């Protein structure tokens, strides 16, 4: 199946199933799949009052280029929750935990996702796996530039075989910088366990036996001094949120 048509189908389905044209604030994620979500919203949205909250420069461009009205995350009144947030993912497991950060926008993505009443992950079939780190090998981590050497060392201590600073020679020589002017480290880890695996005795999940459970690893990495945010999104997908996987039509995956 053509990947782009799968992304477009997933985007259309996610909007058809979850977008409410009378919403007031809608979070828009980053990456390529989200472009199809915005395309579908544009086709269905008639309410000019809706404000779209971007998750970085690229996300804001997608909103503006679609003729929709952005509002900066930090312009929102403190007590305002977004009605819904749509975003892509690099991988999604059976519990709808996500690996995010392939596009290096994970920090603002997590801010927006946590501020939304409902978080919809929109992904084509390549992203849906039983466990995280099956197909996508690394966890993206946003770090303060000065902390890179010490965080790399600490990640090895946590069991990452070969954590690497994300650099790019195509668009810019040297380390990639995020919208916060931070760096990204991509850290490989073995496939992550979920709670039922721990209960089934498949490992302790705390790194002591080489296995990690999704939340335990996320907390361990987040605790490292110098880490701004970790590209593991967990517990964001309540029972009413779906990861839409587009393959031969669209399959809705619910937690």
Residue with tokens 């926008």: 105
Q: Does 159 bind ligand DER (CB under 6 A)?
A: no
- Could you tell me if 142 and 107 are in contact, meaning their C-beta atoms sit under 8 angstroms apart? yes
Is 109 catalytic? The answer is yes
Q: Does 105 bind ligand DER (CB under 6 A)?
A: yes
Please say which residue, 128 or 205, places its beta carbon nearer to ligand DER. 128
What are the beta bridge partners of residue 243? 121, 253
Closest approach of Cβ 221 to ligand DER, in Å? Answer: 16
Q: Does 32 bind ligand DER (CB under 6 A)?
A: yes
Active-site entry in 4, 91, 109, 196? 109
Q: Which residue is nearest to ligand DER (CB)?
A: 31
- Could you tell me if 142 and 183 are in contact, meaning their C-beta atoms sit under 8 angstroms apart? yes
- Residue from 83, 91, 109, 186 touching ligand DER (CB under 6 A): that is 109
User: In whole angstroms, what separates CA 78 from the centre of its chain?
Assistant: 23
- Residue from 89, 113, 139, 194 touching ligand DER (CB under 6 A): that is 89
C-alpha distance from residue 131 to each of 91, 112, 201, 210, 213 (Å): 9, 24, 16, 16, 10
Please say which residue, 34 or 205, places its beta carbon nearer to ligand DER. 34
- Could you tell me if 41 and 130 are in contact, meaning their C-beta atoms sit under 8 angstroms apart? no
Please say which residue, 106 or 132, places its beta carbon nearer to ligand DER. 106
Spatial CA neighbour of 121 closest among 216, 207, 244, 210: 244
What residues are labeled active site?
Answer: 109
Interacting residues toward ligand DER by CB under 6 A: 29-33, 87-90, 100-103, 105-106, 109
């Amino acid at each position: 199946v053509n990947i782009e048509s799968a992304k477009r189908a997933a985007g259309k389905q996610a909007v058809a199933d979850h977008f409410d044209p009378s919403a007031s604030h809608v979070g828009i994620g980053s990456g390529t799949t989200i472009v199809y979500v915005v395309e579908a919203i544009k086709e269905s949205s008639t309410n000019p009052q809706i404000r779209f909250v971007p998750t970085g420069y690229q996300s804001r461009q997608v909103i503006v280029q679609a003729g929709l009205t952005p509002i900066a995350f930090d312009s929102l009144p403190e007590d305002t929750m977004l009605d819904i947030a749509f975003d892509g993912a690099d991988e999604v497991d059976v519990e709808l935990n996500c690996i995010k950060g392939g596009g290096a926008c994970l920090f603002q993505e997590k801010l927006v996702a946590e501020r939304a009443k409902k978080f919809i992950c929109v992904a084509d079939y390549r992203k849906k796996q039983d466990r995280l780190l099956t197909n996508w090998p690394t966890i993206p981590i946003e770090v303060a530039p000065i902390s890179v050497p010490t965080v790399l060392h600490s990640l090895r201590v946590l069991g990452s075989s070969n954590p690497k600073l994300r650099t790019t020679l195509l668009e810019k020589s040297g380390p990639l910088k995020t919208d916060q002017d931070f760096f990204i480290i991509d850290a490989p880890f073995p496939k992550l366990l979920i709670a039922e695996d721990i209960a089934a005795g498949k490992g302790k999940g705390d790194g002591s036996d080489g296995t990690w459970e999704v939340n335990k690893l996320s907390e361990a990495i987040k605790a490292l001094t110098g880490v701004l945010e970790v590209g593991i999104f967990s517990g964001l997908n309540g029972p009413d949120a779906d990861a839409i996987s587009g393959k031969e039509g669209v399959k809705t995956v619910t937690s």
